[in-house]
Structure 1
Amino acid sequence: MPRFYCPVDLATGLELELPAGAARHVQVLRLQPGDAITLFQGGLAGTGEFEARVTHMGRSSVRLQVGTHNAIEREALREVHLLAGITANERMDWLVEKATELGAASITPLLAERSVLKLKGERADKKRAHWQAIAIAACEQCGRNRVPVVAEAVDLAGWLEAGAQAPPMERLLLSLRAGSAPVGRFAGSLSPAVFLSGPEGGLSTAEEEAALANGFSPVTLGRRVLRAETAALAALAQLAQDD
């Protein structure tokens, strides 16, 4: 059954007009009155999903009636927040999409020293909106009912300053330095965690040292050197357990 993100207050029996984005998707699929779909609100306040049925298809509008609420969640057992160095071209799009599918609780694009893509101002706002839309589409596809927030891009110093006020959680840093522990050693825990990985070329020495000084533990994925986006996802797959 097609699934659509609908960020409005949903309730059984409600008749509503779909927001423009969801309406376009319904029209692209050429759904007709009487066809069944699934709606989800995407946030912590609106968990689960709703059955719904199309009642009207207009040229630019779609109306439907909301049916039964199903308290279904498909979140990972462990809350893992990804702090990932911004990668070039479409690789960051791919990272956001797959991290959402793998269960990332949130995604913060990191303006690392070696990031090829530098963002600020209006361009940064547009990129963030683009990545958030990718996360929404990934949730529609994979069945998640909670959309991970794609945070504003930030440099490591800014994140560490803000993180000092955040609730404590395990901090893991992807590193090539000798003595780094296998990331699998941390896979059995259910405590919230943040995983930090760099862009192409990795984090700079100064960034690594700053992270280590702020409670990050260095971890490794093994003897092979993976691409930046692959490394972050490989670690996330181990840390964000489903069962």
Structure 2
Amino acid sequence: MVRIFQPTAILPNCVIELDDNAFNHIVRVLRMKEGESIILFDGSNKITPAVIQQINKKNLLVQTADSVIDNRESPLNIHLGQVLSRGEKMEFTIQKSVELGVNKITPLLSERCGVKLDPERLAKKLQQWQKIAESACEQCGRNIVPMINPVQKLPNWCASLEDYTKLTLHPRAQSGINTLTLPNTNVALLIGPEGGLTEAEIDMTVKNQFVEILLGPRILRTETVALTAITALQVKFGDLG
């Protein structure tokens, strides 16, 4: 069944018009016809079955049915702080992190961050990343779309986290995720840039009570380490078996 995200509240048992993104995907990409069924969700953790009622040149009307709760969220609340990576690596990390159940993502700037973008391009990137998160939810079945926060400087993000168990990866760490205990379900996971964090940044994370963990004997790329750490956390504390 085709799943479509709508950014505004979906009214059950009525005729509604879908937005331009839905029109393009349903009509121009999937070439669906009147009478075919879809599933709508608006981020409220509900799904609403609907039937395509009318397709015009520029709009699409559907008849909705009853909305029902369809909870697929992990019991683990993960806030990913990811230092910006080059090219499509950041998009890949966001897409797969959402599929793995991350609840919030904050792109970060660090001393060795290789990405330099002006404010206008950053704003466009933020919109693009949010769209990627929405599409990932359409694909994986989640009905709450994670928020992609505005880009922050690394020290500001590290100092802003309250009521989180704060984790960062470092090869000098003596313990892994399997040895962790959590006081609650909130985890903040920091992933550094391709060149790694500087010594001053590592000291700063220690002052902000980050716990250093080790994933294994091999050094992983920045886009690999985030997904590996999220998976390990979900296996031990979340809903991956």
TM range (shorter): over 0.9
Structure 2 residue corresponding to 1:129, chosen from 99, 103, 127: 127
Match of 1:152 in 2: 150
Instruction: Sort the Cα spacing of 1:119 and 1:4 in 2 relative to 1 into closer, same or farther, 3 A.
Output: same
SS in 2 for 1:95: helix
Q: Does 1:242 align with 2:239?
A: yes
Q: How big is the shift at 1:189?
A: 7.1
- 219-228 or 113-122, larger mean C-alpha shift: 113-122
- 151-160 or 91-100, larger mean C-alpha shift: 151-160
C-alpha distance in 2, partners of 1:145/1:59?
29
C-alpha distance in 2, partners of 1:135/1:238?
21
Alignment of 1:199-238 (within 5 A): 199-238=193-232
User: Percent identity at matched positions?
Assistant: 35
Could you list the runs of 5+ residues in structure 2 that have no partner in the other structure? Answer: none
SS in 2 for 1:194: strand
Alignment of 1:68-217 (within 5 A): 68-163=66-161, 167-177=162-172, 179-186=173-180, 191-217=185-211
Tell me the C-alpha RMSD between the 2 structures: 1.5
Q: Does 1:35 align with 2:32?
A: no
Instruction: Sort the Cα spacing of 1:122 and 1:180 in 2 relative to 1 into closer, same or farther, 3 A.
Output: farther
C-alpha distance in 1, partners of 2:121/2:87?
14
C-alpha distance in 2, partners of 1:204/1:123?
26
C-alpha distance in 2, partners of 1:187/1:85?
26
Contact 2:159 2:208 in 1 (8 A): no
C-alpha distance in 2, partners of 1:187/1:230?
24
Q: How big is the shift at 1:192?
A: 0.8
TM-score by length of 2: 0.93
C-alpha distance in 2, partners of 1:112/1:17?
43
Q: How big is the shift at 1:162?
A: 3.2
TM-score by length of 1: 0.92
C-alpha distance in 2, partners of 1:187/1:13?
46
Contact 1:111 1:118 in 2 (8 A): no
Contact 1:40 1:48 in 2 (8 A): yes
Q: How big is the shift at 1:188?
A: 7.3
For residues 151-170 of structure 1, the C-alpha deviation after alignment (integer angstroms, 9 at most, x for no partner) is: 1111112213433xxx4111
For residues 58-101 of structure 1, the C-alpha deviation after alignment (integer angstroms, 9 at most, x for no partner) is: 11211001112121111112011100111111111100000010
Alignment-mate amino acid for residue 78 of structure 2: V
Could you list the runs of 5+ residues in structure 1 that have no partner in the other structure? Answer: none
Matched residues, number: 236
Contact 2:80 2:190 in 1 (8 A): yes
C-alpha distance in 2, partners of 1:194/1:38?
32
Alignment-mate amino acid for residue 152 of structure 1: P
Match of 2:64 in 1: 66
